[in-house]
Amino acid sequence: MTANPNGCRWCGIDERGHAQQYKPPVGWHKWEQPTQAQLKERMRARRKARQP
């Protein structure tokens, strides 16, 4: 499964439907914008996954 590029920086869940999530090491958190590096890496992974 490939994460939504704009998913939470901690768990990758979409902002819609995130609410509070528990994920070590950050613990309980609200949706947070992914870093530029994460965005780039996720876009790259998604492009790669789409290739045959």
Report, in Å, the least distance between residue 1 CB and Zn ion.
15
The nearer residue to Zn ion, 10 or 38, going by C-beta atoms, is 10
What distance in Å separates the CA atoms of residue 38 and residue 20, rounded to the nearest whole number? Answer: 20
The nearer residue to Zn ion, 16 or 50, going by C-beta atoms, is 16
What distance in Å separates the CA atoms of residue 18 and residue 3, rounded to the nearest whole number? Answer: 13
What distance in Å separates the CA atoms of residue 4 and residue 8, rounded to the nearest whole number? Answer: 9
The nearer residue to Zn ion, 24 or 52, going by C-beta atoms, is 24
Under the rule (CB under 5 A), what is the footprint of Zn ion? Answer: 8, 10-11, 21
